[in-house]
Amino acid sequence: MTQTIKIKYFTDEIERLCYIGGKSDWIDLRAAKEVVIKAGEFQLIPLGIALELPSGYEAHVVPRSSTFKNYGIIQTNSMGIIDETYCGDNDQWFFPAYALRDTVIRVNDRICQFRIMEHQPVLAFEEVTELVHEDRGGHGSTGKQ
Ligand SMILES: O=c1ccn([C@H]2C[C@H](O)[C@@H](COP(=O)(O)OP(=O)(O)OP(=O)(O)O)O2)c(=O)[nH]1
């Protein structure tokens, strides 16, 4: 099934969104301006797009696997959550970047990827004194090998 969504581009210098190589249904996103970051510094990198997400959906943005190797940056929020309400004319998506080495990200470089996800159901919380299940154990409880 194909779902059509409205997209605004903030620049003509980036290529339009597309699937790359047909290997994944995540869609790559590109830097919309050249960004120079020194080691230990933080910058928001504009991604040059704003979207009107389908009703009931949000988007998740994560780095590409190769982003750290290529640019020495990590995404400070680990995963960006784009709310359905982030759909105003100036609600440009951005990538919050922390550089571990001096680096330059050039216009049109593919630095991250996104997919849309359905919202979770509304959750209500019922307080209890005991959860009547066996403890699973955590933090390596299943061993190393
Ligand atoms: O990596 C990100 C994270 C967020 N956003 C945009 C979309 C999102 O809907 C909005 C607000 O993000 P979030 O709610 O995670 O940030 P906050 O720090 O809690 O700000 P707010 O007070 O606006 O909710 O910023 C991005 O473009 N990239």
Q: Taking the model in full, what pTM does it have?
A: 0.94
**Given the DSSP bridges, would you call strands 94-99 and 73-75 parallel, antiparallel or unpaired?**
antiparallel
Q: What is the 3-state composition of the chain as percent helix, strand, coil, each rounded to the nearest 5?
A: 5, 35, 60
> Is position 95 within any domain?
yes
Is residue 1 over pLDDT 90? no
pLDDT-derived band of residue 132, with 50, 70 and 90 as boundaries?
A: very high
CATH number of the domain enclosing 40: 2.70.40.10
How far is 111 from 107, CA to CA, in rounded Å?
10
> Is position 124 within any domain?
no
How far is 143 from 145, CA to CA, in rounded Å?
6
Tell me 17's DSSP state. P
Q: Give, using CA atoms, the residue closest to atom 18 of ligand 1.
A: 77
CA angle 16/111/79 to nearest 5° reads 110
Q: Which residue has the tokens 């009547």?
A: 132
Contact 92, 46 (CB under 8 A): yes
Q: Tell me the three state secondary structure of residue 114.
A: strand
**Cα(72) to centroid of ligand 1, in Å?**
23
pLDDT at 85: 98
Distances (CA, A) of 45 to 55, 79, 97, 110, 117: 27, 14, 7, 12, 23
**Cα(14) to centroid of ligand 1, in Å?**
22
**Residues lining ligand 1, Cβ inside 6 A:** 61, 77, 80-83, 86, 93-94, 96
- In ligand 1, the atom with minimum distance to the C-alpha of 96 is 1
Task: Tell me which residue of 98, 99, 93 sits closest to 113, measured CA to CA.
Answer: 93
ipTM: 0.96
Structural domain of residue 41, as residue ranges?
Answer: 6-118
Q: Give, using CA atoms, the residue closest to atom 2 of ligand 1.
A: 80
> Is position 37 within any domain?
yes
> Is position 87 within any domain?
yes
> How many domains does one find in the chain?
1
> Is position 125 within any domain?
no
Q: Is 83 a catalytic residue?
A: yes
> Is position 51 within any domain?
yes
**Cα(77) to centroid of ligand 1, in Å?**
10
Identify the sign of the CA torsion 84, 86, 89, 95: negative
Is residue 60 over pLDDT 90? yes
Mean pLDDT over 117-136 rounds to 97
Query: Which of 12, 25, 28, 83 is labelled catalytic?
Result: 83
> Is position 132 within any domain?
no
Q: Give, using CA atoms, the residue closest to atom 5 of ligand 1.
A: 82
